[in-house]
C-alpha cells in the first residue's frame, strides 16, 4: 500500500465543496489500506515537514492555483519563485523539488499553465493539473456539499484520477477515465438541454493535462468504489 497526502482547507465556498469530497475520498482510500495524511490547517513549514516525514507516493493539492503556485489556507505551499498573475502575489522561493519521485494531482485552477511542467522538470513521476480555472455549478444554500446534486457530477469527475490510482490503475488510464467522466456528463447535460452545465463539463475536461510517466501506478490491486464513475465508459 501507499501513503497519500491530501491538502485542502475549506476557507471559501469552492474549497468547502472540495473539502467534503476529499474527506470522503480519504475514507475510501484508507479502506483499501492506504495510509492517508490529510492537512487542513496548513502552512509552508508544515507542508514541507509532512513531505519529509511521511514521504507520500501521491500528493493531492486542492486550493487556489496560479501558473506559478498553489495557495491553500492563505499560504503558498508549492511553487516557483516569481510573480503569479492569477494569485496576484509574489512567490519568494521555489520548492518544486519536494515533488521529486511522486505522483501529483494539482486539483486547482491554472497550475497546468506552468507549475505542472516545473514539477516534472524537478523529478515528479507524473502530474495532472488544469490549464484554466476549474468551474462547477452548484445550488444555493446547501448546507452539506455532498447533497448538492448540481455540483456532484463535477466533483465525481474531478476525483476519478485518485480513485482509480488508489485501485491500482495507471496514471494515464486514471486520467483517461477522468476525461471520459467529464465527457459523459457534458453529453448528458446536452441531452437535457442544459447548455451552461454542458459548457463547463466540456471546459473542465479539455483543460485537464497529464505529464510524465503515464504508466506509473500507485500500487497493484483494489476493489470498486462507491465514488467511482458509474455509467459505462465508451471504448477509447
Question: What sign for the dihedral angle of Cα 62, 182, 138, 20?
Answer: negative
Integer CA distances (angstroms), 203 to 130, 131, 133, 136, in order: 10, 10, 9, 10
- Specify the pTM: 0.91
Specify the pLDDT at position 136: 95
Pairing of strands 82-84, 75-79: unpaired
Instruction: Note whether residue 32 is domain-resident.
Output: yes
Half-sphere exposure of residue 6: CA atoms within 13 angstroms, side-chain side = 27
We report the CATH number of the domain holding residue 48 as 3.40.50.1460
Tell the burial category of 88 from Cβ atoms under 10 Å away from its Cβ (0-12, 13-18, 19+).
exposed
Instruction: Note whether residue 226 is domain-resident.
Output: no
Specify the pLDDT at position 142: 86
Instruction: Note whether residue 128 is domain-resident.
Output: yes
Half-sphere exposure of residue 108: CA atoms within 13 angstroms, side-chain side = 35
C-alpha closest to that of 160 among 4, 34, 25:
25
CA separation for the pair 38, 60 (Å, rounded): 10
**Residue-wise pLDDT tens digits, 117-153:** 999 999 999 999 999 999 999 998 788 999 999 999 9
Per-residue pLDDT of the chain in tens (236 residues, 90 and over written 9): 899 999 999 999 999 999 999 999 999 999 999 999 999 999 999 999 999 999 999 999 999 999 999 999 889 999 999 999 999 999 999 999 999 999 999 999 999 999 999 999 999 999 999 999 999 999 987 889 999 999 999 999 999 999 999 999 999 999 999 999 999 999 999 999 999 999 999 999 999 999 999 999 986 544 444 455 444 433 33
Instruction: Note whether residue 61 is domain-resident.
Output: yes
Rounded to a whole number, what is the largest CA-CA distance in the chain? 50
CA separation for the pair 36, 44 (Å, rounded): 19
N- to C-terminal Cα distance for the chain? 29
- Rg, C-alpha atoms of the chain: 17
Instruction: Note whether residue 65 is domain-resident.
Output: yes
Cβ atoms of 102 and 56 within 8 Å: the answer is yes
Instruction: Note whether residue 234 is domain-resident.
Output: no
Instruction: Note whether residue 50 is domain-resident.
Output: yes
Range of the domain at 46: 3-135+145-212
C-alpha closest to that of 7 among 223, 33, 49:
49
The number of distinct structural domains making up the chain is 1
A 10 A CB-CB count for 236 gives 8
**Residue-wise pLDDT tens digits, 60-70:** 999 999 999 99
Phi/psi of residue 171, nearest 5 degrees: -60, -45
Specify the pLDDT at position 9: 94
Amino acid at each position: 500500500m501507499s501513503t497519500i497526502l491530501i491538502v485542502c482547507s475549506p476557507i471559501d465556498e469552492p474549497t468547502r465543496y472540495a473539502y467534503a469530497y476529499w474527506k470522503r475520498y480519504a475514507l475510501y482510500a484508507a479502506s483499501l489500506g492506504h495510509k492517508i495524511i490529510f492537512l487542513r490547517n496548513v502552512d509552508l513549514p508544515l507542508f514541507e515537514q509532512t513531505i519529509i516525514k511521511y514521504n507520500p507516493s501521491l500528493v493531492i493539492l486542492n486550493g487556489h492555483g496560479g501558473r506559478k503556485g498553489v495557495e491553500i489556507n492563505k499560504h503558498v505551499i508549492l511553487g516557483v519563485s516569481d510573480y503569479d498573475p492569477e494569485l496576484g502575489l509574489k512567490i519568494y522561493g521555489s520548492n518544486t523539488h519536494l515533488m521529486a519521485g511522486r505522483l501529483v494531482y494539482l486539483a486547482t485552477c491554472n497550475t497546468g499553465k506552468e507549475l505542472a511542467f516545473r514539477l516534472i522538470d524537478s523529478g515528479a513521476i507524473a502530474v495532472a493539473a488544469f490549464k484554466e480555472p476549474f468551474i462547477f455549478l452548484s445550488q444555493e444554500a446547501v448546507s452539506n456539499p455532498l447533497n448538492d446534486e448540481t455540483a456532484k457530477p463535477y466533483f465525481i469527475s474531478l476525483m476519478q484520477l485518485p480513485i482509480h490510482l488508489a485501485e491500482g490503475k495507471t496514471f494515464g488510464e486514471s486520467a483517461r477515465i477522468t476525461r471520459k467522466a467529464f465527457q459523459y456528463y457534458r453529453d448528458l447535460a446536452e441531452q437535457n438541454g442544459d447548455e451552461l452545465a454542458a459548457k463547463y463539463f466540456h471546459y473542465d475536461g479539455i483543460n485537464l493535462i497529464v505529464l510524465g510517466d503515464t504508466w506509473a501506478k500507485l500500487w497493484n490491486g483494489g476493489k470498486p468504489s462507491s465514488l467511482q464513475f458509474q455509467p459505462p465508459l465508451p471504448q477509447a
